[in-house]
Amino acid sequence: MARRIGFFICECGPNIGENVDIDAVLNAVEDMDDVVLAARFGLMCSGPGKDFLKANIKTEKLTHLVVAACSPKQHELTFMEVCEDSGINPFLFQLTNIREQVAWVTKDKEEATEKTIRLAKAAIRRVRYHDPLSKTALAVNADVLVIGGGVAGMAAALRLASPERRVHLVERSSSLGGRVVAQGPIYPTMASGGEMATAMVDLVEGNDWIVVHRYSEVSVVVGFFGNFEVVVTGELEDGGTLETKVNVGAGVVATGAEVLEGKPLEDLGHGSIDGVVSSAELEAMLADGSIGGKGGKAPKSVAFVQCVGRDEVGYCSEICCMNSAKQARLLLEAAKGAKVHILYRDLCVPGRDQQAFLEGAVKAGANLVRTTSVEVGGSKGGITVSHSLGDGKAEKLMVDMVVLSPAMVPPTGTEGMAEMLNVELDPSGFLLEAHAKLEPMAAGIDGIYLAGSASGPRSVSDSIVQAEACAGRVLSSLIPGRTIEPEIRVSHILETLCTGCQTCLEVCCYGAIVYDPMKNVSHINAAICRGCGNCVAACPSNAISLYHFTYKQLYQEIVEAIR
Amino acid sequence: MTATITIDKPLDEGVRTLLRSMLEKGTVRAVLTLRRLEDGGGVAHCLVTDPAALAEAVPLLPVMPSQGGQVLSHLTQEEPFKEPVAAVVRPCEARAFVELMKRNQAFGDNLVLISPECPGVFPVQRVSGDPMDDDIDAYWRSTSEGKGADGLRPVCTGCELFEPIGVDMTLRLVGRSDLDKVLTVRLDTQRAEDMVKDLGLGKAKEDGKDPKGLEALRSARAKGRADLRAELDFTGEDMAEFSRTFGKCISCHACSKVCPICYCQMCYFEARAAAAGPAWWRNDLKRKGATRAPPGTVFFHVGRLLHMSISCVACGMCEDVCPVDIPVARIFKKVGEAAQEVFEYVPGRDPKEEIPIKTFVEDELHEVER
């Protein structure tokens, strides 16, 4: 059947209409081979615009469609749907971007028109070589893997679990609850963190649809959104291991953070000077009554040292200022009349409630002191804290207790986790989100989400928000009984040309390629491939091609564009 | 620092003695060496297990009938040698082999590499017929004086990597006045020392001072390289120059057949539908009204430059086999070295060094941005 190509140019209101001589473009392309119609419309993506396309496809019996309009990111799907509705294979369509790439950036109208003509001709030339592609559908597995049993992981699991959706919650330690379970009152409400976390643990353990894997780690994750195969390795009491295979459709990583240890704390006397403790140690002392309880000691003067290790890790851990304000309040209640100094470098009190909470601590007697550097030394009468106030001034405090607020750092094993999941790490070693602002809960891999401190230090409330966001993403896309349509513009390997050199394996960002040693060739898993084309470019034997971006199609497009 | 042994026989005879004792003592199961074929069939790489068959071996004959790296890749592509095999190859052949290992086209297990300080080779055309005796005498005289011989492959005269890298044994030849009496073998690895211990070839000694001639050849090669570049009428910077240089190519593709780095089972340019189909010539005709048929003559060389010049070991095989005298190897050496410099990459230096295409760094090469 002869090709009948329809070319349509969108004015995009004044966006394209005023900057490009549209009639000149139509004149230039109407005589091209197989072009049976060249037409313009005001706003092609609008209802009337789509109806205009559909009517013309029908009356002119079009077989191929080319639209010159905006970025494919914005409306490629819109026009592919028009094709489908009109009985044209959606891949016999080409969108060329003359708004972002011409009208908005090329000021001279004549030049813009010339450029548009080239792009339009290139797209028309290209579409002649398109092959119809058919979409495939895969049944989704609605179950979810949650890695980490802290508050973030538990919140996600509780939101996700249902009779139609089993959740596998994998926890490295013996018990659920994470760091929060050891907390006393938490800011800003001063409700008990421990009680809150314990209540969540009870809910998780009572939920029939959550399978808790304790003493366990995830050792293998392969597959793709909707169909991941996971191996959970559990530690047995006799020292052996037990491997459990589970299938899930998505994963939530809620591996949390750890507290910095070592040199930055030791430099400030931790471990060598009596009375120098970390904030976590103070939390435990407050909880078990060894401060303020019956028979407990009550320090008369305390210095909190903030930002311990901040220079070493290179970021602000976000939660420590508020945590020290909270602990100062608790100390002042437990040890009436005590002097409490908080030596800070910058105060981090964002949000609606935090400033008022900090002011409450000051009102209760905490002395906020801005400092630039701190030294801690032991002496007979207590602990000396020398610190500089800037402007060359210095101050010396004598206290009975020093509380160090260390930075939060990625938990051990994060690197291996990142490699296994194919998720990137940010320079500080936390898991990197897909987009810091637009997708802070998603990893760069489809179907893998990040909750809580796994991607950086977070407060309890922020962790819960993220966990809920992860659950939202899963609930809205991984619906039981539905099918998913994997990308079909993917790479494939022609075995007769493949030399088995495996260069493609090295450049594949998605782990989509495997090597078959029996046949000495590589294979691409079409369901994992995202069609980036790295392997196509890297293959020396020209054995790989990418559907919809074949050499022939690109060659034809380029030939016309640079003619 | 490094142990050295001397064998009381010169050159080929010395190497034959070494190989023979390795075979006889069972240190290796086979050896790969150049060898004269029966009935005057010329010289070729041969795999030898019978010590008697080493009588015809000419391991140091200054020719390269096929690239030893490519030969070893063909032998080990399917699976590694199961027992130790010694191979006498030139430094560029050893480096090509390393590049092929990086591309999973060869296995280096159980392979003992023996390589000479390489004075260069004569063009491949001289392999058969004329026994070259006079020229070979002159060749070894120049070598013992640390001078380059006359009549070598052009790229050999500008080769600065004539001393082996990453091999087990180095045959010390350059600048040695006793070349006609003894063969000096440096043992570069522990494995080599262990092997030689039981051969009855005398005790290993500390390596002596480098002869003056070695330094002389190093300087001569550096100058040779500069001369090659200066004399070569090819900058790689404009299309007309590509057409002028590669226009006389008859598309026999012999250069890619003998190239150790061109390892594809089937070259894209051999696939007529891909490289010579209507998609190619129709556009050319529309645009220019005339096109070379089949098209792609020059593009073949551009493609080869793109794909393999980063790993080009400048062995010179391609230029030897070109029937229309295109200075292929000199061009590939120049372009290859330019690309290698950008990535600070020396092909064949270290099997663990990844080829640059596998080591993508986002923040680099800003100088090529406009």
pLDDT tens for each residue of A450-508: 999 999 999 999 999 999 999 999 999 899 988 877 789 999 999 988 999 999 998 98
> Which of A31, A32, A499 to mutate to test binding with chain B, by most B CBs within 10 Å of its CB?
A499
Of A220-229, A516-525, B111-120, the poorest mean pLDDT is in A220-229
User: What average pLDDT does the segment B113-138 reach?
Assistant: 86
Task: Write the burial class of residue A192 (CB in 10 Å: 0-12 exposed, 13-18 middle, 19+ buried).
Answer: middle
Q: Using pLDDT thresholds of 50, 70 and 90, give the confidence band for residue B273.
A: low
Share above pLDDT 70 across residues of chain B, in percent, rounded to a whole number: 97
pLDDT at B185 over 90: yes
Count of other CB atoms within 10 angstroms of residue A119: 20
Give me the CATH topology for the region A491-547.
Alpha-Beta Plaits (3.30.70)
Q: How far apart are the first and last CA of chain A?
A: 28
Of A48-57, A389-398, B308-317, the poorest mean pLDDT is in A389-398
Residue A541 and residue B265: Cβ atoms within 8 Å?
Answer: yes
Find the CB nearest B264 among A129, A538, A541.
A541
In the sheet that holds A339-344, the strands lie side by side as A276-278, A401-406, A301-308, A339-344, A366-370
Beta-bridge partner residues of A278: A404
pLDDT tens digits, one per residue of B13-61: 999 999 999 999 999 999 999 999 988 778 999 999 999 999 999 999 9
Residue A499 and residue B265: Cβ atoms within 8 Å?
Answer: yes
> Which of B76, B264, B286 to mutate to test binding with chain A, by most A CBs within 10 Å of its CB?
B264
Residues from chain A contacting residue B105 (CB–CB below 8 Å): 499-501
pLDDT at B165: 95
- Residues near A14 by beta carbon (within 8 Å), at least 6 away in sequence: none
pLDDT at B345: 95
pLDDT at A295 over 70: no
pLDDT at B1 over 70: no
Least Cα separation, residue B340 to chain A (angstroms) = 17
Interhelix angle A193-205/A151-160, nearest 10 degrees: 40
pLDDT at A157: 97
Q: Chain B: residue nearest A537 by CA?
A: B357
Chain A residues whose C-beta sits inside 8 Å of any chain B C-beta: 129, 496-503, 506-507, 520, 538, 540-542, 551-552, 555-556, 559, 563
DSSP A419-480: HHHT--B-TTSSBPEEETTTEEEEESSTTEEE-GGGGS---HHHHHHHHHHHHHHHHHH--T
Find the CB nearest A503 among B266, B283, B357.
B357
Residues from chain B contacting residue A551 (CB–CB below 8 Å): 274
Least Cα separation, residue B218 to chain A (angstroms) = 35
pLDDT at B128: 64
Beta-bridge partner residues of A401: A302
Find the CB nearest B103 among A129, A503, A551.
A503
Least Cα separation, residue A499 to chain B (angstroms) = 6
Find the CB nearest B105 among A498, A499, A556.
A499
Residue B263 and residue A506: Cβ atoms within 8 Å?
Answer: no
pLDDT at A137: 83
Chain B residues whose C-beta sits inside 8 Å of any chain A C-beta: 78, 103-105, 263-268, 271, 274, 279, 283, 287, 307-308, 354-355, 357-358, 360
User: What average pLDDT does the segment A95-107 reach?
Assistant: 96
pLDDT at B131: 66
Residue pair B251/B295 in contact (Cβ under 8 Å)? The answer is no
pLDDT at B272 over 80: no
Looking at the domain covering A263-405, what would its CATH class be?
A: alpha beta
Residues from chain A contacting residue B101 (CB–CB below 8 Å): none
Find the CB nearest B268 among A501, A542, A552.
A542
Residues from chain A contacting residue B363 (CB–CB below 8 Å): none
Residue B358 and residue A500: Cβ atoms within 8 Å?
Answer: no
pLDDT at B200: 87
Q: Chain B: residue nearest A522 by CA?
A: B104
Tokens of B169: 């044994």
Distance CA A306, CA A385 (A): 13
Q: Chain A: residue nearest B355 by CA?
A: A503
Find the CB nearest B103 among A501, A520, A552.
A501
pLDDT tens digits, one per residue of A522-532: 999 887 788 99
Least Cα separation, residue B94 to chain A (angstroms) = 19
Share above pLDDT 70 across residues of chain A, in percent, rounded to a whole number: 99
In chain B, domain spans: 3-228, 234-368
- Cα-based angle B197, B202, B203 (whole degrees, multiple of 5): 65
pLDDT at B202 over 70: yes
Residues from chain A contacting residue B287 (CB–CB below 8 Å): 559, 563
Q: Using pLDDT thresholds of 50, 70 and 90, give the confidence band for residue A146.
A: very high
Residues from chain B contacting residue A499 (CB–CB below 8 Å): 103, 105, 263-265
Find the CB nearest B279 among A501, A506, A556.
A556
pLDDT tens digits, one per residue of A368-415: 999 988 999 988 778 999 998 878 888 899 999 999 999 999 999 999
Residues from chain B contacting residue A497 (CB–CB below 8 Å): 264-266, 271
Domain A5-133 shares a fold with domain A144-257+410-477: no
pLDDT tens digits, one per residue of A182-194: 888 988 888 999 9
Contacts across the A-B interface (CB distance below 8 Å): 54
In chain A, domain spans: 5-133, 144-257+410-477, 263-405, 491-547
pLDDT tens digits, one per residue of A72-91: 999 999 999 999 999 999 99
- Which alpha helices (H) appear in A289-380, and where do they start and end? 310-313, 320-334, 354-363
Share above pLDDT 90 across residues of chain A, in percent, rounded to a whole number: 75
Task: Please give the helix or strand (H or E) that residue B32 lies within, else none.
Answer: strand B30-36
Residues from chain B contacting residue A540 (CB–CB below 8 Å): 263-264, 307-308
Least Cα separation, residue A78 to chain B (angstroms) = 31
pLDDT at A115: 97
Residue A497 and residue B265: Cβ atoms within 8 Å?
Answer: yes
User: What average pLDDT does the segment B255-267 reach?
Assistant: 92
Q: Using pLDDT thresholds of 50, 70 and 90, give the confidence band for residue A58.
A: very high
Residue B358 and residue A540: Cβ atoms within 8 Å?
Answer: no
| Averaged pLDDT score across all residues of chain A | 92
pLDDT at A85: 96
- What letters, b where the CB count within 10 A reaches 16 and e where it falls short, cover B168-202? bbbbbbbbbeebeebbbbbbbeeebbebbeebebe
pLDDT at A510: 77
User: What average pLDDT does the segment A258-265 reach?
Assistant: 93
Residues from chain A contacting residue B271 (CB–CB below 8 Å): 497, 542
Share above pLDDT 90 across residues of chain B, in percent, rounded to a whole number: 75
Give me the CATH topology for the region A5-133.
Rossmann fold (3.40.50)
Beta-bridge partner residues of A216: A234
Residue A497 and residue B274: Cβ atoms within 8 Å?
Answer: no
Residue B266 and residue A497: Cβ atoms within 8 Å?
Answer: yes
pLDDT at A127: 97
Phi/psi-derived region of residue A34, left when phi > 0, alpha when psi is between -120 and 50, beta in every other case: left
Residue B358 and residue A556: Cβ atoms within 8 Å?
Answer: no
Query: Which carries the bigger pLDDT value, residue A294 or residue A342?
Result: A342
pLDDT at A414: 95
Span A144-257+410-477 CATH architecture: 3-Layer(bba) Sandwich (3.50)
> Which of B104, B269, B304 to mutate to test binding with chain A, by most A CBs within 10 Å of its CB?
B104
Interhelix angle B297-308/B328-342, nearest 10 degrees: 40
Tokens of A444: 């760069």
pLDDT at A138: 81
Find the CB nearest B104 among A501, A507, A556.
A501
Residues from chain A contacting residue B281 (CB–CB below 8 Å): none
pLDDT at A460: 93
Residue B263 and residue A499: Cβ atoms within 8 Å?
Answer: yes
pLDDT tens digits, one per residue of B126-150: 876 566 788 899 999 999 999 989 9
pLDDT at A139 over 60: yes
Q: How far is CA B111 from CA B81, B188, B290, in A?
A: 7, 14, 53
SS (H, E, C) A149-204: CCHHHHHHHHHHCECCECEEEECCCCCCCCCHHHCCEECCCCEEHHHHHHHHHHHH
User: What average pLDDT does the segment B165-178 reach?
Assistant: 96
Q: Using pLDDT thresholds of 50, 70 and 90, give the confidence band for residue B282.
A: confident
Residue B265 and residue A498: Cβ atoms within 8 Å?
Answer: yes
Residue B274 and residue A542: Cβ atoms within 8 Å?
Answer: yes
> Which of A126, A501, A535 to mutate to test binding with chain B, by most B CBs within 10 Å of its CB?
A501
pLDDT at B269: 82
Distance CA B146, CA B148 (A): 7
pLDDT at A416 over 90: yes
pLDDT at A341 over 70: yes
Task: Write the burial class of residue A402 (CB in 10 Å: 0-12 exposed, 13-18 middle, 19+ buried).
Answer: buried
pLDDT tens digits, one per residue of A371-382: 988 999 988 778
- What letters, b where the CB count within 10 A reaches 16 and e where it falls short, cover B131-140? ebeeebeebb
User: What average pLDDT does the segment A427-441 reach?
Assistant: 92
pLDDT at B266: 84
Beta-bridge partner residues of A339: A301
